[in-house]
């Protein structure tokens, strides 16, 4: 059975939770750089292009793997999922209220 670090491409089996607005590129990238696995949060995102901007900004800060959280109660969640696929986000967690 593969280790979680092998699956995520991280050095340590530490996954940073997607905690509202503080899980932006400025937090996610350093977590991934330090060997953990950072997750962008999208619960409060208002449009798909803002989500795309967050993914791109994270990619500019780090080349390490990171993921994103999809808050499925957001009516734009399907559009956000499309952005994740288009931008090559390989790991997506989901959350609900």
pLDDT tens, residue by residue, 35-75: 999 999 998 899 999 999 999 999 999 999 999 999 999 99
Indicate the pTM of the whole model.
0.93
> For position 1, what pLDDT does the model report?
60
Q: What is the mean pLDDT of residues 26-42?
A: 97
The CATH architecture annotation of domain 4-95 reads Alpha-Beta Barrel (3.20)
Banded model confidence at residue 20, pLDDT cuts 50, 70, 90:
confident
β 92-95/38-40 pair status: unpaired
Q: Where are the domains of the chain?
A: 4-95
Q: Each residue of 7-31: b (16+ CB within 10 Å) or e?
A: ebebeeeebbebeeeebebebbbeb
Sign of CA dihedral 6, 8, 12, 17: negative
Residue 9 has pLDDT above 70, yes or no: yes
């Amino acid at each position: 059975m593969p280790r979680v670090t092998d699956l995520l491409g991280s050095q340590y089996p530490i996954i940073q939770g997607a905690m509202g607005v503080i899980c932006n590129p400025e937090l996610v990238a350093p977590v991934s750089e330090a060997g953990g696995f950072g997750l962008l949060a999208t619960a409060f995102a208002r449009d798909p292009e803002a989500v795309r901007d967050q993914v791109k900004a994270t990619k500019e800060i780090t080349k390490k793997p990171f993921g994103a959280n999809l808050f499925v109660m957001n009516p734009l969640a399907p559009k956000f999922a499309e952005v994740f696929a288009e931008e090559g986000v390989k790991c997506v967690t989901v959350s609900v209220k």
